[in-house]
């Protein structure tokens, strides 16, 4: 059976992993918390190094949202440790989150992270998993382009707002060009509700209504 990425809304696969912080079971290790698993092509590479520094610089922001981080590549654990030591000594940034050593490739295969045209390196993928172990978002990047970590934070904030308020979030929220920091009210499912919408909310039309967060 060909490996594939798990789909949105599916339970994150149960995996036993070896990390720079010891052995862990996913998603159980983060039970009750959201987590972001992000894969990188290889240790001791420039783009990946910039990403790890960027993730660490925002680690407190992730934790304030109740979100943990865990990295992954097919390098062995001693390579991870040496690379993280180099980052600390040379760039003065200590990486606090664990990094999975997937040198046998089993985790990467289970998550569909090996691109057949890119050899054995893992691609740049981001998995956002909620506190129930459900996969909520996947972002897939080419090896040549580093990730925007602030966008990952924005995405998680938006998902949490959506869950807590039963709303949708517009493009570039909270700085949308049409509705600013307001949120989108779910579309009406019947004629009666549609007629009430314009009286209850700000609307461009009955199917495009928005409101402030309470």
Q: Is 69 part of any domain?
A: yes
Same domain for 130 and 80 = yes
pLDDT digits (tens, 9 = 90+) for 156-206: 999 999 999 999 999 999 999 999 999 999 988 899 988 888 889 999 999
Catalytic residues: 48
**Is residue 188 a contact partner of residue 140, using CB atoms and an 8 Å limit?**
no
Q: Is 83 part of any domain?
A: yes
Domain count, the chain: 2
Helix axis angle, 77-91 to 46-57, nearest 10°: 70
Angstrom distance (rounded) from CA 130 to CA 159: 9
Residue 48 CB coordination number (10 Å): 20
Same domain for 32 and 104 = yes
Same domain for 209 and 124 = no
**Is residue 74 a contact partner of residue 115, using CB atoms and an 8 Å limit?**
no
97-111 average pLDDT score = 87
Q: Number of H helices and number of E strands within the chain?
A: 6, 10
Same domain for 112 and 44 = yes
Both structure tokens of 115: 């691109």
pLDDT bracket for residue 1 (50, 70, 90): very low
Same domain for 131 and 90 = yes
Same domain for 173 and 138 = no
Domain ranges, residue 181: 166-214
Confidence (pTM): 0.92
95-103 average pLDDT score = 94
Strand 183-184: give its sheet, edge to edge.
Answer: 183-184, 208-211, 202-205
From the centroid of its chain, how far is CA 172?
17
């Amino acid at each position: 059976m060909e490996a594939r990425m798990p789909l949105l809304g599916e339970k994150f696969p149960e995996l036993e992993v070896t990390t720079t912080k010891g052995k862990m079971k996913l998603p159980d290790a983060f039970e009750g918390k959201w987590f972001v698993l992000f894969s990188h092509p290889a240790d001791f590479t420039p783009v990946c190094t910039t990403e790890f520094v960027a993730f660490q610089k925002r680690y407190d922001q992730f934790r304030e949202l109740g979100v943990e981080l865990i990295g992954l590549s097919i390098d062995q654990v001693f390579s991870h440790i040496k690379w993280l030591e180099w980052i600390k000594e040379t760039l003065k940034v200590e990486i606090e989150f664990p990094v999975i050593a997937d040198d046998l490739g089993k985790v990467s295969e289970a998550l569909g992270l090996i691109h057949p045209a890119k050899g054995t390196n893992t691609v740049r993928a981001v998995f956002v998993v909620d506190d129930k172990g459900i996969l909520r978002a996947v972002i897939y990047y080419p090896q040549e382009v580093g990730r925007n970590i602030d966008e990952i934070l924005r995405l998680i904030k938006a998902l949490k707002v959506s869950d807590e308020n039963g709303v949708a979030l517009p493009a570039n929220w909270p700085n949308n060009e049409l509705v600013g920091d307001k949120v989108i009210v779910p579309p009406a499912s019947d004629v009666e509700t549609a007629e009430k919408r314009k009286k209850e909310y700000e609307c461009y039309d009955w199917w495009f209504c928005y409101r402030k967060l309470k």
